[in-house]
Structure 1
Amino acid sequence: MNQQIENNFKYHSPKEGQPEKYTAVREKAKELAYLIDELCPNSREKSLALTNLEQAVMWANAGIARNE
């Protein structure tokens, strides 16, 4: 049995303090998203920047959920 696979594909119920960490990550990312939206012209690059920011939030929150 591969422990990494088992951990990555199971449900991780929030532990004490984790929801606040998820919120903090999302709020900071939202600040950056607004800055990108304000400064970058509408373009493929802007779309990719926002998409990758969303991915960064998802991976950061997965890191919190899976490893604490």
Structure 2
Amino acid sequence: MNAVIENSFRYHTPKDGQPEKYEAIRSKAKELAYLIDELAPNSREKSLAMTKLEECAMWANASIARNG
């Protein structure tokens, strides 16, 4: 059995304090998303920036879930 694979593909029940951390990350990501939306012209690059920001928030929260 590979512990890394097992950890990556199982449900992680939120522990005390984790939901607040998830929300803090999502809130800051949303703040940046609004800034990008306001300042960057509509373009492929803007779309990619938004996608990468979503990925960033998702992976940061996954880090908390899997290792926190």
Uncovered stretches (5+) of structure 1, i.e. residues with no partner: none
The structural deviation recorded for 1:29 is 0.4
Matched residues, number: 68
Q: Deviations over 1:9-46 (max 9, x none)?
A: 00001000000000000000001000000000000000
| Match in the other structure for 1:3 | 3
- Give the residue type in structure 1 aligned to 2:41: P
Q: Percent identity?
A: 75
| Match in the other structure for 1:19 | 19
- Per the normalisation by structure 2, the TM-score is 0.99
Which 4+ residue blocks in structure 1 deviate beyond 2 angstroms?
none
Uncovered stretches (5+) of structure 2, i.e. residues with no partner: none
The two structures, once aligned, show a CA RMSD in angstroms of 0.3
Aligned pairs for 1:1-68 within 5 A: 1-68=1-68
